[in-house]
């Protein structure tokens, strides 16, 4: 059964509460880069007695433009959305994947055409259908010169694979220059590896949020999240409210980030 709308009085109170948090946040340090693990779409569909997981994936996709607006309004510069892992590509049923590929293709096109965002695909193209590859590539090309919110769409993404790809890239570049393994051993630094990740040149995520109550990274941004703050929301992603996001940012602002000191 679909969730009922909140009573009018309750909605007004939430509006006042949201505005109070938002005003407070404008005086606090906010994350430059928010990474979101979009989770719980399938369970949301099941909870609402819908026929297929695709209903949940579409509901989750419909929430994303709204979520990006929340981020823009608060001055966040980079958002990474974990939409489809490399494990998902190899582990889910063909029917569900086909529908999910179509939904992500539509989402990439919508974000690219309806916003001032700069869209970037992070992940591997291998295993993705040509239609999705085209949609992601076209979104990148269409938004290449945009200077607004930078939106990373993590599709066919795996954190361990990303690190392996970064090391391969470093080895190839070094080999082309005629360098030796011994020389590379002296040059190899965390900064060099970071520059060769899919997100090279971007700030690491300050805050990683995961919906649906699960408390694990699931192979997401393993390198980049070394110093990130984490926040876990009980709501399934389609049910994520702005107040939930504001609470996450409030929690982040109240934390003291020590970086080992």
* 114-160 per-position pLDDT tens digit: 778 999 999 999 999 999 999 999 999 999 999 999 999 999 999 99
Give tens-digit pLDDT for 151-169.
999 999 999 999 999 999 9
88 is catalytic: yes
Residues 57, 4: Cα–Cα separation, whole Å: 20
Question: Has 145 been annotated as catalytic?
Answer: no
Comparing 14 with 134, which gets the higher pLDDT? 134
The structure tokens 């965002």 sit at: 117
The pLDDT-based confidence of 3 (bands split at 50, 70, 90) is: very low
Q: Which of 5, 19, 39, 244 is catalytic?
A: 39
Q: Could you give the residue ranges of the DSSP H alpha helices within the chain?
A: 8-25, 41-47, 53-73, 86-91, 94-114, 130-142, 159-176, 181-187, 190-195, 242-254
- Work out the mean pLDDT of the chain and round it to a whole number: 93
Write down the pLDDT at residue 111. 96
Q: Element (H or E) spanning 121, and its range?
A: strand 118-122
Give how far Cα 204 sits from Cα of 30, 79, 88, 172, 228, Å: 14, 10, 24, 24, 8
At 14, the pLDDT band (50, 70, 90 cuts) reads confident
**Homologous superfamily in CATH for domain 30-158+203-253:** Decaprenyl diphosphate synthase-like (3.40.1180.10)
Taking residues 2-11, report their average pLDDT: 51
Among the listed residues 88, 152, 204, 206, the single catalytic one is 88
Question: Per-residue pLDDT for 257 more than 80?
Answer: no
What's the whole-model pTM score? 0.92
């Amino acid at each position: 059964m679909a969730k009922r709308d909140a009573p009018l009085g309750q909605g007004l109170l939430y509006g006042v509460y949201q505005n109070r948090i938002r005003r407070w946040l404008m005086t606090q340090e906010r994350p430059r880069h928010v990474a979101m693990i979009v989770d719980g779409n399938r369970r949301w569909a099941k909870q609402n007695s819908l026929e297929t997981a695709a209903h949940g994936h579409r509901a989750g996709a419909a929430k994303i433009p709204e979520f990006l607006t929340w981020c823009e309004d608060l001055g966040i510069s980079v958002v990474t959305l974990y939409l489809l892992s490399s494990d998902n590509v190899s582990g889910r049923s063909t029917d569900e994947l086909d529908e999910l590929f179509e939904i992500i293709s539509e989402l990439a096109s919508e974000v690219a055409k309806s916003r001032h965002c700069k869209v970037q695909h992070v992940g591997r193209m291998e295993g993705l259908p040509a239609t999705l590859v085209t949609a992601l590539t076209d979104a990148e090309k269409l938004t290449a010169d945009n200077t607004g919110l930078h939106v990373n769409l993590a599709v066919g993404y795996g954190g361990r694979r990303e690190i392996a790809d970064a090391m391969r890239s470093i080895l190839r570049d070094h080999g082309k220059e005629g360098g030796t393994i011994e020389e590379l051993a002296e040059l190899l630094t965390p900064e060099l590896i970071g520059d060769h990740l899919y997100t090279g040149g971007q700030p690491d995520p300050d805050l990683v949020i995961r919906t649906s109550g699960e408390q694990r990274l699931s192979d997401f941004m393993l390198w980049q999240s070394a110093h990130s703050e984490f926040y876990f929301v009980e709501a399934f992603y389609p049910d994520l409210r702005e107040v939930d996001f504001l609470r996450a940012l409030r929690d982040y602002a109240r934390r003291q980030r020590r970086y080992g000191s």
